[in-house]
A and B are shown apart, each in its own frame.
Chain A
Amino acid sequence: MMTISWKTRLYIWFRLLLLQASWNFERLQGIGFFYSLLPGLRKLYKDEKLLDVSRKYVGYFNTHVYLAPMVAGAVLKLEEDQASGTADPALEVDDFKEMVAAPYAAIGDALFWGGLRPLAAGITLFFAIKGILWAPLIFILIYNLVPTWFRTIFFVRGYRQGMASVEFIQKHRLPDWAIHTKETAIVILGGLSAFMVFSHLNQQQLPSWLGLLTLVPMVMLGVVARKGLSTLLLVFITVTSIFFIGLFWADMVYLIAS
């Protein structure tokens, strides 16, 4: 029975931090995945066999960076079984990789990029607006909590459970959690925008009820953004209109005063 020592697994885990160093349009994370697993493969296979297995691994592969350790863990387990001849013949390692890659990518994208990132940014903004210089550190801490958990615990779990590691994903309905995270992020951003507008109006000594009108341009911008207009264009339009309104306003005030 061949097994991969914890030292090798730790080494593989560190290598997974470099997963996307050679990201390219043809094989995406393929080479990176091979690079990460290589220390483990070296322990299981020798010479010609090792090269054959390597050729298989450098092929097309792509999943979410934070979930890749879980795939790597499970793949290591499966390779171990393969090498010691106790593998389940129903499922090849390749098939497993292909089967989980896209669903894990979808789950990770929704949960981390779509949900957690705006949420952490929203929370951090509270501190940043207050002028607290530690705000970036708070962002890093809040954001990295969950990804680090996924990267470490699930790497271990993937190795321990092999194929069965997919059950966690199926059981816990992570895509629904992603939606909840996004909803929370939106509520936080809503409150935050209100605060920014409110304090700005106070500073400008304008009546605060005016702030409710901010919703009109914001919803309009949201709707046109949905239509596919680029942020760059929207920034340009917004800034130039504010700029010219500002100029015009100053002239008006000047005229009335004189």
Chain B
Amino acid sequence: MAISLAFGALISLICGLDRVAILQIMISRPIVAAPLTALALGEPLIGLQIGVMVEFLWLARLPVGAAVPPDDTQVAIASSVLAIVLGRTLNVSGIELLLLCLLIAIPLGKVGQYFDHYARQYNVRLIKQVDLALDRGSLMGAEFQHLRGLTSFSLASIGTYAIVVLGGLLIVPFLWPLLQQSLSHSSAWIQLALPLVGIAVILGTINVSRAITLFCASFCMSFLLMWLV
């Protein structure tokens, strides 16, 4: 278990940095991060299922300018780790546990947004250091300050991951016996509903004038075609 959690932390760090600080090759998207985590822990399919459910939830929240979107990367990674680790300890498999972990991780993941905020606020201190370094005539010093910013972003990622995983480890085993039975009645429906909620939010907030019309037309058309076949 400790090894799994550590693996998760490592991936949380790499993907977390990809979000803002470096690269931006989108390994931070849930559809990539969750399967990657789950692959490292040996059960890629669980990650894929979680990735699909989380990917669309906050896709409509764009990282525009100084706006900080919710940290879907850490929600995806942490809930994959939780689902796999708890699945092994509680010796259960199936979509219900996965859903419970995810539903606990989603609200806990809210801290990610605050941490991200703090990291960017904390980096304001680097400005002063850069200015001082330049006054001293040390360009190397100024370069170093820039790289120091990576620490705050790393801490924010790992911190979010730790809080979601710890919270999940405390809450899920407690709720699981209570909800296992009741959740089985609706689990398949919830699994379907989560990506659809995300897609609906995209429709509502995307900058395309006739988004809903286009969507409905495409939906009905595809639906009727499948029905014909």
Q: In the assembly, what is the distance between CA of A159 and CA of B31, in Å?
A: 35
Contact check, A128 vs B31: say whether CB atoms are below 8 A apart.
yes
B78 interface residue (CB < 8 Å to A):
no
How far in angstroms is the closest Cβ of chain A from B44? 5
Q: Looking at B39, B65, B199, which has the most chain A CB atoms within 10 Å of its CB? A: B199
How far in angstroms is the closest Cβ of chain A from B41? 14
Chain A residues touching B, range = 35 or more
A203 interface residue (CB < 8 Å to B):
yes
A interface majority secondary structure: helix
Q: Looking at B60, B149, B204, B207, which has the most chain A CB atoms within 10 Å of its CB? A: B204
Q: In the assembly, what is the distance between CA of A238 and CA of B60, in Å?
A: 18
Evaluate whether A238 and B193 lie within 8 angstroms (CB atoms) in the complex, with A136-B36, A215-B216, A218-B199 already known: yes
How far in angstroms is the closest Cβ of chain A from B20? 5
A65 interface residue (CB < 8 Å to B):
yes
**B23, B35, B146, B202: which contacts A22 (Cβ < 8 A)?**
B146
B interface majority secondary structure: helix
User: Which residues of B lie under 8 Å from residue A129 when comparing CB positions?
Assistant: 52
**A62, A65, A235: which contacts B197 (Cβ < 8 A)?**
A235
Number of B interface residues in the complex (CB < 8 A):
95
Contact check, A113 vs B64: say whether CB atoms are below 8 A apart.
yes
B137 interface residue (CB < 8 Å to A):
yes
User: Which residues of B lie under 8 Å from residue A13 when comparing CB positions?
Assistant: none
Stretch from B83-91, B102-110, B157-165 forming part of the interface with A: B102-110
User: Which residues of A lie under 8 Å from residue B219 when comparing CB positions?
Assistant: 190-191, 193-194, 214-215
Complex: chain B residue closest to A110, CB-CB: B207
Within 8 A of A (CB), among B26-68: 26-27, 29, 31-32, 35-36, 39, 44-45, 48, 51-52, 55-66
Identify 4 new A-B residue pairs, CB closer than 8 A, beyond the known A208-B226, A212-B223.
A42-B139, A51-B137, A129-B52, A218-B203
Interface residues in chain B, defined as those with a beta carbon under 8 Å from any beta carbon in chain A: 20-27, 29, 31-32, 35-36, 39, 44-45, 48, 51-52, 55-66, 70, 103, 106-107, 110, 120-124, 126-127, 130-131, 134, 137, 139, 142-143, 145-150, 153, 182-183, 185-186, 188-190, 192-208, 211-212, 214-223, 226-227
